Structure 1
Amino acid sequence: MKIKDFGVEQWMNEYETKAKYNLGETCVSSLSIRELCELVGVDVNDFAKQLVDRRLTYGAIEGAVELKEAITRLYQNLTPDEIVTEHGAIGANNLVLNALVEPGDEVIAVTPTYQQLQSIPEAIGATVKLLPLKRENGYLPDAEQLRGLVSDKTKLIVLNNPDNPTGALMSQAGLQTIVDISLAGIRLGWLATHDQAVMKACLSYRDYETISCGQLDEMVGTLALKNQAVLLERNRGIVRENLKVLEEWVHQQPHITWLKPKAGTTALLYYDFDLPSTIFCDRLMKEYETLLVPGSCFDIENSLRIGYAFETTHLRDGMNQLGKFLAKLEQEAR
């Protein structure tokens, strides 16, 4: 199976360990295990003893029961048997697409989105129909346009909500409209589904590509999810504060426009210089040690993906460097 180069990941692989100011990161400011224990009120020595005493066997093949029970609390009506853990959202995406999509199928995927969701079904041999998310529509799917794309061969409708890179968030009513069109039952991240036929197909494929997740990962994940309220409060606080900082900065920049994200940890910034986004980001990195992801990775030129969920001081410092680069481009354009 041949597959396209994964643009955004290859860009990050090239630069993220070299950048002094990484504004391409999408994860909320990371915690150490010590910090996590202190945040949720667990004795770090007791938890460390559990870690070092744990035998490194395969563990629970379909996911640790305690972990899956903690995951169900994120949902309204799911049982642990309707969840299977994977190696991150990228693993769950890969599992679902490879287990369900066959050559000759049709898959509808929004664009822009995380490239994996388009390139894997295309590499399998499916026809991928793209549903463009337009800026003037708040980067939300157009239901009537979607209806026109659906056919008897449609196997999956793939959404990314909140969208990466735009940060657009579909409402409950908007999601229900999609469900009414497609009857989709898959929620991606870990895999969660009421459809036991889908679960059986995914578990069968999973035996070939995952078997089980690492026990130490599951221990830490269980600790986090059992204390999800305090962790979410901390993470949402960081994201909300940084979004205010980013919004303030954008309003001060004459060459930058955006559509303020509704959710998630990323946004698209548009610039008005006659410069391809790859060259823009490459120069920004080399001249100011600052990493952004070029919009070309999402097939949107003259734009940049920025993450805003890490430490606020790091965000401010990185945007200061970006501002200097924009001023330099303005001088060059005169």
Structure 2
Amino acid sequence: MKLPRFGVEEWLNVHEKEALYDIAGVSISALTLEELFRLADQDLSTFFQELSRKKMDYGWIEGSPEFKKEVCGLYKDLRPEQILQTNGATGANMLALYALIEPQDHVISVYPAYQQLYDIPKSLGAQVDLWQVSEEHNWLPDLDDLRRLIRPNTKMICINNAHNPTGAIMDEAYLQELVTIAESCGAYILSDEVYKPFSDRSEVPAIVDLYDKGISVDSLSKVYSLPGIRVGWVASNKEVADILRNYRDYTMICAGVFDDLLAAFALKNRRVIIERNQKIVSENLKILKNWLAQEPRVHAILPDHVSTSLVKLDVPLPIEEFCRQLLADYGVLLVPGSRFDLEGYVRLGYCCDKQVLKTGLAKLSQCLRQFDE
């Protein structure tokens, strides 16, 4: 089993601590514990008193009953035994692919997207076809292309909804058509759903709610602004959950007593977190739109209130070279699109601290001015 370097993570691991203005990350501005408990109108000291009485053992291996109850509330009709807690969505994707994909299986994956979705199946010996996103289709892949790629023995279709890095959304009508195609050969659909739109106009159902062989992956990292606790989950039908349960014993024991307790608390109080984050996304998206309107060397199809965006830069340099220069000279961090096989573009995470965004965009404009001469 050999894996290539994880392009985006490699870039961030090397460079994110150098940045003064990080507009590369695509979580919504991370919460402190103090802010989380203030939003929930709860006493932080009470939480720590409860935590202090808990034994620091392995806790609930698959996630506590409280955690599973709250996760079930995110879906239409799931039972706790259909939920497995994981080490973030990364752990959930790994678990599903490791458990279900075998050598010579046929897998179709949206491309580019989160790199796990195609490189892990390849590493397991599967035949992987890439389902290319297209700017002319607002960064969605064409369903007719999927029909041409599908085979009678296709084992799995991997999607990222909303899409990383573009923020493009597969809406319910699109997903229903996707399900029909998957049903034609009995393929699983693995859907990484960590990015969600914060727009009232965008209803995006989970794939597990639409399709019996749909597998939904999510976490607290993006929408709930708690990447630091590394808690995610995978939701599926009971048969798939039992398969994953067997493989999960080889990949992790538990998320940890503290992480589980805080995850359950956050999900129980998700309404106030969503309200806070909806405001951040809306206000920061306006800042980004205004900047785009005034910056002649930039073009973007902006997402509908999703925390990641893909921006095209008109620069006479390879995009990775430009991003290195931008970081070295101005302290601004972006992810070069070359890390997604999208030369000339950058991933821009606009849901950071508002002042970081404003300053980062202003300095990006300063760097772009050198090419006007």
| Shorter-normalised TM range | over 0.9
In the alignment, which residue of structure 1 is the partner of 2:234? 191
Deviation at 1:330, TM superposition (A): 2.6
Provide the secondary structure at the position in 2 that maps to 1:237. helix
Q: Does 1:281 align with 2:319?
A: no
**Residue 90 of structure 2 is aligned to residue 90 of structure 1:** yes
Deviations 1:59-112 (A, max 9, x none): 111111101101111111112111111111111011101111111011111112
Equivalence for 1:63:
63
Contact 1:162 1:170 in 2 (8 A): yes
Please give the alpha-carbon distance, in whole angstroms, between the structure 1 residues aligned to 2:371 and 2:49. Answer: 54
Equivalent position SS for 2:317: coil
Deviations 1:204-255 (A, max 9, x none): 1110111211111111111110011111111111011111111111111101
CA distance in 1, matches of 2:39, 2:366: 37
Q: How does 1:223-302 map to 2 (within 5 A)?
A: 223-302=265-344
State the partner residue of 1:9: 9
Aligned counterparts, 1:1-334, within 5 A? 1-183=1-183, 184=189, 185-189=214-218, 190-194=233-237, 196-331=238-373
Contact 1:284 1:322 in 2 (8 A): yes
Which whole-Å CA distance do the structure 1 matches of 2:276 and 2:247 have between them? 36
Secondary structure in 2 matching 1:98: helix
- What SS is found at the alignment partner of 1:156? strand
Where does the alignment leave 5 or more consecutive residues of structure 2 unmatched? 184-188, 190-213, 219-232
Of 132-141 and 289-298, the range deviating more from structure 2? 132-141
2-side partners of 1:162 and 1:263: how far apart? Answer: 10
Q: Taking structure 1 as the reference length, what is the TM-score of the superposition?
A: 0.96
Helix, strand or coil for the counterpart of 1:262? coil
> C-alpha distance in 1, partners of 2:52/2:24?
34
> What's the CA shift for 1:263?
4.1
Measure, in 1, the Cα distance between the counterparts of 2:9 and 2:246.
28
Over the aligned positions, Cα root-mean-square deviation in angstroms equals 1.1
**Is the Cα–Cα contact under 8 Å of residues 72 and 79 in structure 1 kept in the other structure?**
yes
**TM-score, normalised via structure 2 length:** 0.87
Inter-partner Cα distance in structure 2 for 1:245 and 1:263: 13
User: Distance in 2 between the 1:129 and 1:262 partners?
Assistant: 28
What percent identity do the matched residue pairs reach?
Answer: 41
Work out the CA distance in 1 between the residues paired with 2:137 and 2:6.
Answer: 27
Q: 1:16, CA displacement in angstroms?
A: 0.6
1:148 CA drift (Å): 1.0
The equivalent of 2:204 in structure 1 is none
CA separation in 1, counterparts of 2:153 and 2:104? 8
Where does structure 1 differ by over 3 angstroms across 4 or more consecutive aligned residues?
A: none
